[in-house]
């Protein structure tokens, strides 16, 4: 186990490290322990080494769970899919007194590659027209809202450019509808934010220029996000004790930011 405090790497340092990791062949990229890695994908394996290059700190047993990384009393869990998979683990780790860092990836730029599952032939990749943002993580954060603001819990959101490799095994003439993902390969680390303090959440959830009090429609317009995402952001703010109902303006419910904005 490493001794002393480890300095958190900068975004530039993580980008450089990721570029080196992407050059590794599979036999070097993937863990050799076999513990908790039977279904591990390239994105997860790369991020585990990106966050902690020391493989001896990977796949640590904590009760009936296996943590991705355990270092100096801090558990790091890397999730590239749904955060609701972590609810049981979070309850266990926090109850046992561990600090927890949840690393969650958000697709930024995405290139899609379709592969025929029978012939293994790949079609030319194409760039998705959508560019993701941190707001795309809102629904996932809502899934673990009961833990947000817990002492010792930090969330690290990574904006990742990825190559999405999908199988042509879906429905319809194109076989693309409801198809399965084969692999998601990291290409570049586009950004990173950390959420632990009220200021962190405020900076992510509330865009500059938002006039108080505000409605869900006001937030959606200011942040340029769908209405559903705005409602989810408001629910998170209410859960964290950073916002409170402020009555109605016409038929719309409006909200205000609490003076202290303390996490509850």
Q: Give the pLDDT band (50/70/90) at residue 35.
A: very low
SS3 171: strand
Q: 3 φ, ψ to 5°? A: -105, 140
What per-residue confidence (pLDDT) applies to 6? 59
Q: CA-to-CA distance for 222 and 224, rounded, in angstroms? A: 6
User: Which residues, listed in sequence order, are joined to residue 122 by a DSSP beta bridge?
Assistant: 115
Beta-sheet pairing, 153-167 with 99-115: parallel
What per-residue confidence (pLDDT) applies to 260? 56
Please say whether the beta carbons of 103 and 77 come within 8 A.
yes
Scan for tokens 């993902």, then name that residue: 181
Mean pLDDT on 123-135: 94
Q: Give the pLDDT band (50/70/90) at residue 145.
A: very high
What per-residue confidence (pLDDT) applies to 65? 95
Taking only the tens place, the pLDDT of each residue in 203-225 is 999 998 899 999 999 999 999 99
Tokens (6 digits) for 258: 């609490």
What per-residue confidence (pLDDT) applies to 41? 83
DSSP 8-state secondary structure symbol assigned to residue 97: T
Beta-sheet pairing, 65-71 with 74-79: antiparallel
DSSP per-residue string spanning 10-23: PHHHHHHHHHHHTT
- Residue ranges of domains in the chain, CATH in brackets: 11-196 (no CATH), 198-264 (1.10.10.10)
Q: Give the pLDDT band (50/70/90) at residue 263.
A: very low
Please say whether the beta carbons of 213 and 256 come within 8 A.
yes
Mean pLDDT on 69-87: 94
Q: Give the pLDDT band (50/70/90) at residue 156.
A: very high
CA 86 to chain centre: 12
| Residue 49 CB contacts under 8 Å (≥ 6 apart), including other chains | 21, 29, 55
**pTM of the full structure:** 0.88
**Residue bearing the bigger pLDDT, 264 or 231:** 231
């Amino acid at each position: 186990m490493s001794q002393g405090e480890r300095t958190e790497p900068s975004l530039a340092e993580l980008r450089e490290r990721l570029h080196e990791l992407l050059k590794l062949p599979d036999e070097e990229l993937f863990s050799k322990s076999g513990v908790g890695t039977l279904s591990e994908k390239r994105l997860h394996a790369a991020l585990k080494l990106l966050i902690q290059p020391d493989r001896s700190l990977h796949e640590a047993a904590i009760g009936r769970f296996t943590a991705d990384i355990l270092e100096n009393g801090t558990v790091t869990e890397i999730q590239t899919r749904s955060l609701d998979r972590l609810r049981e683990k979070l309850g266990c780790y926090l109850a046992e007194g561990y600090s927890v860092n949840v690393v969650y990836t958000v697709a930024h730029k995405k290139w899609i590659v379709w592969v025929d599952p029978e012939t293994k032939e790949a079609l030319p990749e194409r760039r998705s027209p959508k560019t993701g943002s941190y707001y795309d993580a809102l629904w996932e954060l809502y899934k673990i809202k009961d833990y947000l603001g817990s002492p010792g819990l930090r969330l690290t959101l990574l904006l990742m450019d990825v190559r999405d490799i999908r199988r042509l095994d879906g429905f319809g003439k194109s076989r693309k509808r409801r198809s399965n993902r084969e692999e998601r390969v990291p290409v570049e680390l586009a950004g990173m934010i950390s959420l632990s303090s009220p200021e962190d959440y405020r900076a992510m959830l509330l865009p500059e220029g938002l006039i108080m009090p505000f409605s869900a429609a006001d937030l959606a317009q200011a942040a340029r996000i769908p209405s559903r995402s705005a409602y989810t952001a408001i629910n998170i703010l209410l859960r964290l004790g950073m916002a409170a109902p402020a009555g109605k303006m016409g038929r719309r419910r409006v909200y205000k930011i609490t003076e202290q904005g303390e996490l509850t």
